[in-house]
């Protein structure tokens, strides 16, 4: 009874607040950036860059944060210093960043012409951003693994805050070219890292040498799942940029605004989840599976309620809200479909985290891959209309992910799977959603 009346876990409130601050700052960036550049068509390269960055960076780097946080937490419990672990993860991050950067450079002519409409500044900003997010996400792993949740919140919130500050400054001095705004998006995550390094908040103690096995037991499955989960989250706008013809390019920016509006419940849920998931994970770690099931049911009810409310709001008042916020014209039906897909993604993410807590990393990776396949098929065969086919693809992929993860969770529970502290730590940090 005492444990059930315990206060929220350390760090819940600052991390939750940081997530909300980052979300609000993201919307502000789109509003200010569009006005500064002069309209949807001029802002379209920035919108395309935004969704490309938040596909690549969380997709490839989140597993490093998860494994670093897990390994540091493990060492912390044993009273061992974690500096060798940080060095080992940094080596992995450098190799991963170099590999992806080489691919981006090799494909840069295609990326520039087909995705950024010939704007090489956006391709350069994409490469810079991918490099800049490596130290930021490794910094978050250090903070989560050492219990420095206020520093974690600083990294999370400052990315969005610095981005909007730079955007406002560029607008004040009258910059109307997209390139500097793209660079502002790219370098924003570095400011918090430099600040925390100067204050010693990312320091770690010497300790026993770290082996590859210590930092990579589930890295492959986490990487596969993270890449496909982040890709699905941003697939709508990325696909719209690729599939749209010249006459539809301006509409793609409006579609991106609709995606952002549909994500409002997801921003709120992520902040609330910062409070709920650690409690749920503690139950799993203590092998109190009956309470775990009950807690997960409550989480599922919350997700469904948020999804239903968000969808109804999008259908009824969504067109008016998006007109006021972004001066965009999208129908309630389109916004409702995007909200449904966002709700499905929320449910899939919550269920996937429960499966990871029960050591089902392989099942989660498979689920996100199958969901991506469902998106491709749904977008390909469902309709000839640009936005309608993407909306259907997003909903189909979300439903596919929920189905796979629900079956996986049921299978893990029926098999009597027992979580361990490592899987619980990875579940808590499995959030492939950046703002």
pLDDT in tens, the chain (435 residues): 333 433 345 566 787 788 888 888 999 999 999 999 988 889 989 999 999 999 999 999 999 998 998 889 889 888 999 999 999 999 999 999 999 999 999 999 999 998 998 999 999 999 999 999 999 999 999 998 888 889 999 999 999 999 999 999 999 999 999 999 999 999 999 999 999 999 999 999 999 999 999 988 889 999 999 999 999 999 999 999 888 887 777 788 889 999 999 988 877 776 666 555 556 656 666 667 677 777 777 778 888 888 899 999 999 999 999 999 988 889 999 999 999 999 999 999 889 988 888 889 999 999 999 999 999 999 999 888 888 999 999 999 999 999 999 999 999 988 887 777 677 667 767 766 665
What's the CA gap between 156 and 16, in Å, rounded? Answer: 10
Q: Which domain holds residue 168?
A: 10-217
Is 5 contained in some domain?
no
Structure confidence at residue 8 (pLDDT)? 43
Is 360 contained in some domain?
yes
Structure confidence at residue 246 (pLDDT)? 75
Say yes or no: 258 and 286 in one domain: yes
Say yes or no: 366 and 428 in one domain: yes
Say yes or no: 285 and 369 in one domain: yes
DSSP symbols for 42-99: HHHHHHHHHHHHHHHHHHHHHHHHHHHHHHHHHHHHHT---HHHHHHHHHHHHHHHHH
Structure confidence at residue 299 (pLDDT)? 76
Say yes or no: 293 and 156 in one domain: no
Distances (CA, A) of 138 to 55, 187, 190, 384: 17, 16, 12, 43
Say yes or no: 192 and 294 in one domain: no
Q: How many domains does the chain have?
A: 2
Structure confidence at residue 145 (pLDDT)? 86
How far does Cα 397 stand from its chain's mean position? 17
Say yes or no: 213 and 275 in one domain: no
Say yes or no: 310 and 381 in one domain: yes
Say yes or no: 206 and 351 in one domain: no
Say yes or no: 257 and 385 in one domain: yes
């Amino acid at each position: 009874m005492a444990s059930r009346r315990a206060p929220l876990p350390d760090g819940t409130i600052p991390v939750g607040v940081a997530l909300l601050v980052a979300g609000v700052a993201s919307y502000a960036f789109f509003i200010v950036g569009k006005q500064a550049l002069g309209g949807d068509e001029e802002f379209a390269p920035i919108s395309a860059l935004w969704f490309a960055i938040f596909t690549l960076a969380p997709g490839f780097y989140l597993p490093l944060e998860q494994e670093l946080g897990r390994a540091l937490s493990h060492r912390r419990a044993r009273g061992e210093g974690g500096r060798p672990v940080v060095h080992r993860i940094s080596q992995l991050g450098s190799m991963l960043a170099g590999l992806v950067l080489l691919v981006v450079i090799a494909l840069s002519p295609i990326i520039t012409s087909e995705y950024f409409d010939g704007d090489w500044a956006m391709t350069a900003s994409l490469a810079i951003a991918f490099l800049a997010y490596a130290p930021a996400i490794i910094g978050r792993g250090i903070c989560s693994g050492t219990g420095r949740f206020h520093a974690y919140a600083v990294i999370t919130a400052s990315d969005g805050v610095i981005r909007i500050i730079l955007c406002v400054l560029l607008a004040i001095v009258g910059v109307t070219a997209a390139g500097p705004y793209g660079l502002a998006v790219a370098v924003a995550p570095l400011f918090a890292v430099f600040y925390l390094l100067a204050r010693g908040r990312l320091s770690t103690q010497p300790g026993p040498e770290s082996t590859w096995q210590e930092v990579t037991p589930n890295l492959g499955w986490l990487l596969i799942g993270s890449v496909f989960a982040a890709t699905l989250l941003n697939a709508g706008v990325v696909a719209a940029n690729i599939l749209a013809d010249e006459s539809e390019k301006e509409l793609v920016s409006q579609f991106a605004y609709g995606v952002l509006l549909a994500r409002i419940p997801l921003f709120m849920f992520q902040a609330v989840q910062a409070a709920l998931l650690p409690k749920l994970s503690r139950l799993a770690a203590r092998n109190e599976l009956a309470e775990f099931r009950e807690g997960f049911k409550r989480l599922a009810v919350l997700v469904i309620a948020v999804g239903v409310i968000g969808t109804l709001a999008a259908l009824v008042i969504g067109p008016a809200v998006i007109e006021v916020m972004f001066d965009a014209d999208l129908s309630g039906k389109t916004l409702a479909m995007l909200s449904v897909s966002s709700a499905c993604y929320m449910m899939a993410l919550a269920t996937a985290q429960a499966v990871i807590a029960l050591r089902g990393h392989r099942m989660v990776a498979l689920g996100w891959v199958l969901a991506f396949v469902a998106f491709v098929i749904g977008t390909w065969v469902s309709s000839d209309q640009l936005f309608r086919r993407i909306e259907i693809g997003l909903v189909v992929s979300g439903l596919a992910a929920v189905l796979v993860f629900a079956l996986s969770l049921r299978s893990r529970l029926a098999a009597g799977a027992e979580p361990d502290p490592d899987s619980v730590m990875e579940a808590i940090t499995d959030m492939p959603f950046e703002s």
